[in-house]
Structure 1
Amino acid sequence: MTRSDTSPQPLDRIAKVESFIVSIPREVPYLGPLRDGEFINEKGYLIRKGNRSIYPASDMSVLVKITGESGRIGWGETYGIAAPEAVTAIIDNLLAPVLVGRCPSEAMVIWEDLYDLMRVRGFFGGYYVDALAGVDIAVWDLYGKGANLSVAQLLGGARHRTLPAYVSGLPRATLQERCDLAQEWVAKGYRAIKFAAAVSDEGIVAEMAALREAVGAEVDLMVDLHWKFEASEAIRLIRRLEPYNLYFAEAPCQAEDIEGQARVAAGIGVPLALGEEWRTVYEVRPRLMAATCGILQPEIGHTGITQFARIGQMAQAFHKKLIPHASISMGLFMAASLQATAALQRVPYHEYQHSIFDRNLDFTDGDMGCEAGHYRIPTGPGLGVEPNDALLQHVRGLS
């Protein structure tokens, strides 16, 4: 037998790449009911006064469909909650033509090659890397299906069959209603809850105190500070929250303020959690070198699987914990996040956006779920989930 006879065969080269925008109506906007002075504009967006950030009134996302020469399909999804047309334009015009003919078994090499395409044109973050994240997830899904292995197996092996979930957000109008909702989650078996400072209308410390009284001493409580504070302000605030046994404080300073983040991390007695906006290890490394945080929160809708895995390895090298972030997803990049997280060590929790995840389970086929405080890692090749007809009905232009 010759050497060529024993060499691995290519896995289903890429024949076609497509992207699609998904928009699904919500009865209550993300983070809860509108506050005084908040409104939905003519384009369907609202600005939260508490953190000055823009959100869609519906759940929006971008799906990526990669078809192999065999007809096999790999699915991806990326962060597309604001101006998703920018993401689809990048995928359709820049990335798709370059991907045709590539082998999905070269997933990490493909990510590097696509990243290099815009090296001198603002490639470092933003919509370009978001677009790349969706493509990357679809490439890994196609790779896994061709190899009949899950993404976790492709990344070296699944360490976890389930992952502890923390409840993210209490989207009710009043503090009493939020405390009641927290108690409901604890009764269902959840042992960690994060509240959003952007909608703490009665005050952040008052909300922390009320929640601690409501859920008892054994539940981990976290706060998302939504980049609202200067470093000294954040230190004073977090110190006031510490007596209530705060588990972590998230995003106290503006994302670009590395010096401020380091000051806060050094000035408080609980872990600082950062990273939902990071897209590559090139953003993570200087922040770890500056000792800005104890917990990393990569969002796979920004990073894709390739960079998520590398960020996870970097976290381990710096002896940090990793608690993945989860935002608006139709279920595909949530499956990718659970798969990639299952291959990592030092993962005490994964974020659980219950108002999004539970409903959107109706849009995918597979055994992914979250019950009694734990995620079920989807089984099956690739991501382990597939979009179903219920989701595809909300997709623009899908044939």
Structure 2
Amino acid sequence: MRLEKLETFVVANPPPRHGGRYFIFLRLTTACGITGVGEIYNATFGPNLCTAMAHDVFERQFAGRDPHHIERLWRQTYGAGFTMRPDVTVMGVLSGLEMACWDIIGKAADQPVYQLLGGKVHDRLRSYTYLYPAEGDVYPDPDEPNVYNDADIAAEAAVRAVEQGFTAVKFDPAGPYTVYDGHQPRLSDLDLSEAYCRQIRSAVGDKADLLFGTHGQFTVSGAKRMARRLEAYDPLWFEEPIPPENPADMAEVARYTAIPVAAGERLCTKHEFARLLEAGAASILQMNLGRVGGLLEAKKIASMAETRQAQIAPHLYCGPVVAAANIQIATCSPNFLILESIGRFDGPFMDFLTTPISWEAGFVLPPVSPGLGAELNDAVIAAHPYTGKELHLNMVAEPVNP
């Protein structure tokens, strides 16, 4: 079996744009006609530049090669140009190509990928969702009360999520995150964050876990101040409380609070996650399969986490192909905790695939189809080209002042 062709697609995510402004999909085809799909999660450069990088890597490292040789292809790409370090852009490209190879391998074996990475451990996968505006209120006026700035409205959204079947909800009212972080939380940020936890806990009781999201906003002391405010409401996690560069500093936060620290969406490869585990910085690892280095790398990270009694909660703020890959790794990992979903996987987000993701009463059901269980919808992709100039995500460009 030999890889023959790469196609790439940059698609605009239609309203309500949950998951980001655009997605970068790819498809590999073998000389014998088997196809595999992947997704690149890369927010650093424009998406068309990322697809050009993917074609360059494919021609240098993958074209004409056997897709079964995951380790060889991975190491040759990781070490190309005398690098051998976790470069976030290279790893995004490699992740997309690697997951497409696994899709091909699974189809050739007529097995889901999880069966080839240790076999099914979980028959169903607990999932959570962000708290989004009510249907029909997709773009709330930021100057008006809405789910993102009003704890009472957020509590109403949490009740709706629980009524749908979710047993965990995530929200991030802790204030802006900037290129100058970490910073001290403002008193207003502390007050609003505590109000969110108080109101949502009061609304849902013990029917749902609270997942407190941050984006590396704080200094160590600022994260401690925030954690102290939240502990009374028993969140399941405190997500990325400080910037991800220094695991030793994050470990200081983890030792301070009873709230489990979750982190990892911005990290690449087993090497960066090893430092997180060695420092005791996080007990819940949130690798993103479109950035971390692909499925096999994620399986290695999950295995390392087992040795430290840490769990995995695959991160998803990109497209449905990464969602499909997350499901595969969650299904075969004994230390899986919970899966991020985009609502119930039933909105415009899923139109880019011809294959659904099965979600029932708060759980995702692993697919039984071979490979990743995801096929691109070429007609929908062609109808939604991304023509914008903005990156997938942006941070505030000015410092936060108290």
Q: TM-score, normalised by structure 1?
A: 0.84
| Cα distance in 2 for residues equivalent to 1:337 and 1:357 | 17
Alignment CA distance shift 1:242-1:170 (3 Å):
farther
Match of 1:209 in 2: 198
| Cα distance in 2 for residues equivalent to 1:355 and 1:190 | 9
Residues 194-252 of structure 1: CA deviation (Å, up to 9, x unaligned) = 11135697611111111111111332111012111111111121122111111110011
Match of 1:306 in 2: 296
| Cα distance in 2 for residues equivalent to 1:328 and 1:379 | 23
Equivalent in 38, 55, 61 of residue 92 of structure 1? 55
Alignment CA distance shift 1:94-1:105 (3 Å):
closer
- Cα drift, residue 292 of structure 1: 0.5
| Cα distance in 1 for residues equivalent to 2:12 and 2:356 | 24
Match of 1:368 in 2: 357
Give unpaired runs (5+ residues) of structure 1.
Answer: 1-11, 32-55
Moved more, 352-361 or 89-98: 352-361
Secondary structure at the aligned position of 1:132 is classed as helix
Secondary structure at the aligned position of 2:351 is classed as helix
Match of 2:180 in 1: none
- Cα drift, residue 391 of structure 1: 3.3
Q: Which amino acid letter does the alignment assign opposite residue 15 of structure 1?
A: E
Give unpaired runs (5+ residues) of structure 2.
Answer: 134-146, 177-188, 387-402
| Cα distance in 1 for residues equivalent to 2:304 and 2:248 | 20
| Cα distance in 2 for residues equivalent to 1:357 and 1:252 | 31
| Cα distance in 2 for residues equivalent to 1:175 and 1:102 | 54
- Cα drift, residue 387 of structure 1: 1.1
Equivalent in 193, 203, 207 of residue 169 of structure 2? 193
Secondary structure at the aligned position of 1:249 is classed as strand
| Cα distance in 2 for residues equivalent to 1:357 and 1:327 | 16
Match of 1:219 in 2: 208
| Cα distance in 2 for residues equivalent to 1:388 and 1:94 | 25
Alignment CA distance shift 1:103-1:109 (3 Å):
same
- Cα drift, residue 77 of structure 1: 0.7
Secondary structure at the aligned position of 1:324 is classed as coil
Contact 2:4 2:30 in 1 (8 A): yes
Q: Which has the higher contact order (CA 8 A, sep 6+)?
A: 2
Contact 1:170 1:182 in 2 (8 A): no
Residues 265-323 of structure 1: CA deviation (Å, up to 9, x unaligned) = 11001211011111200101112111101111111111211211111111112221111
Alignment CA distance shift 1:118-1:62 (3 Å):
farther
Equivalent in 355, 358, 377 of residue 388 of structure 1? 377
Alignment CA distance shift 1:155-1:391 (3 Å):
farther
Alignment CA distance shift 1:170-1:258 (3 Å):
same
Match of 1:26 in 2: 15
The question of 1:256 aligning with 2:245 is answered yes
| Cα distance in 2 for residues equivalent to 1:308 and 1:142 | 18
The question of 1:323 aligning with 2:313 is answered yes
Moved more, 347-356 or 127-136: 347-356
Secondary structure at the aligned position of 1:20 is classed as strand
Secondary structure at the aligned position of 2:290 is classed as helix
| Cα distance in 1 for residues equivalent to 2:165 and 2:98 | 34
Amino-acid identity (%): 29
Q: Where do residues 239-254 of structure 1 align in structure 2 (5 Å cutoff)?
A: 239-254=228-243
- Cα drift, residue 394 of structure 1: 4.0
Q: TM-score, normalised by structure 2?
A: 0.83
| Cα distance in 2 for residues equivalent to 1:320 and 1:359 | 34
Moved more, 18-27 or 221-230: 18-27
- The structure with the greater share of residues assigned to strand is 1
Contact 1:169 1:353 in 2 (8 A): no
Contact 2:350 2:356 in 1 (8 A): no
Q: Where do residues 120-269 of structure 1 align in structure 2 (5 Å cutoff)?
A: 120=83, 123-171=85-133, 172-173=147-148, 174-198=150-174, 203-269=192-258
Secondary structure at the aligned position of 1:229 is classed as coil
| Cα distance in 2 for residues equivalent to 1:273 and 1:118 | 33
